[in-house]
């Protein structure tokens, strides 16, 4: 089995590549500018040249706030990009994994969002992800759409942000009324690398157990790291101008039969702090 990972320098992409290498699975990471999913012919040619058995497609445009002023760019990279990847996967007979998000939901159900809940995005980024999911589901039969929570475990994530603010004794002002499931990228990568060996096609929700607001998670980071954090919890409406968010981003844990549930957010965070240098 040979696996191609797109947006390989992103947090999910780099974590997946590490896990594939750890398992001894032949893999190739591709990223912009050499690999531009908005260029259909070029992308399909590059995929054909490498002929992967599986493509793990990490969405390239993830800046939710910037997307509000760049709707065409966001839709092109995410929606049209997923369409291109689905076509490219079909060209070579590859399975396709699409990483998605709870931002496709309105978050008004007052319970965790289920895999079959109706779409209702509140921002441009969420709309682009609905387009991405629809493209894959309409063109393919051998696909996995995996929705997950806000990722941590590398890069400019919430863990690093909280620790740096604590180290500098800076006040960190974060939303306290938006909730989701913070998810350790390494745990997600392990799940994905196991999922692609199965025929459990369809939509799945993969995230660590536990729900937190951004302010609550930052406070937990400081607590687990033994630091004193100056965390100020604010209503989302009092945060600096940004894209409208889905306020309840909780995902119901829905995994294929036989897959164990993810560990708690606290356990994942402890492992993250022990394994990653911040």
Alpha-carbon span 271 to 238, nearest angstrom:
33
The DSSP-derived string for 105-174 is: S---SSSPBPTTSPP---SHHHHHHHHHHHHHHHH-SSEEEEEE--EESSSS-HHHHHHHHHHTT-EEEE
Instruction: Provide the token pair at 203.
Output: 């939509």
Strands 3-6 and 27-30, how do they pair? parallel
Q: Which of 59, 67, 61 is nearest to 242 (CA)?
A: 67
Active-site positions read 125
């Amino acid at each position: 089995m040979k696996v191609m990972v797109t947006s390989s320098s992103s947090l999910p992409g780099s974590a997946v590549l590490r896990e594939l290498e750890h398992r001894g699975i032949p893999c190739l990471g591709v990223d912009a500018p050499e690999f531009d999913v908005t260029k259909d012919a070029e992308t399909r040619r590059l995929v054909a040249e490498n002929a992967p058995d599986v493509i793990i497609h990490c969405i390239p445009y993830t800046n939710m706030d910037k997307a509000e002023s760049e709707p065409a760019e966001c839709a092109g990279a995410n929606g049209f990009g997923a369409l291109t990847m689905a076509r490219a996967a079909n060209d070579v007979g590859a399975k396709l994994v699409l990483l998605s998000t709870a931002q496709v939901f309105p978050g008004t159900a007052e319970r965790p969002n289920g895999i079959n809940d109706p779409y209702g995005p509140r921002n441009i980024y969420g709309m682009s992800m609905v387009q991405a999911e629809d493209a894959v589901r309409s063109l393919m039969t051998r696909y996995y759409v995996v929705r997950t929570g806000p990722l941590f475990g590398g890069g400019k994530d919430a863990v690093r942000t909280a620790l740096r603010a604590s180290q500098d004794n800076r006040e960190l002002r974060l939303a306290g009324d938006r909730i989701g499931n913070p998810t350790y990228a390494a745990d997600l990568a392990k799940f994905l690398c196991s999922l692609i060996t199965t025929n459990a096609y369809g939509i799945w929700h993969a995230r660590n157990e536990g729900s937190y607001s951004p302010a609550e998670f930052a406070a937990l980071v400081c607590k687990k790291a033994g630091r004193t954090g100056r965390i100020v919890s604010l209503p989302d409406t009092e945060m600096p101008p940004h894209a409208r968010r889905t306020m309840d981003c909780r995902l119901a844990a829905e995994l294929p039969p036989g897959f164990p549930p993810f560990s708690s957010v606290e356990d994942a965070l402890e492992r993250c702090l022990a394994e990653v240098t911040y």
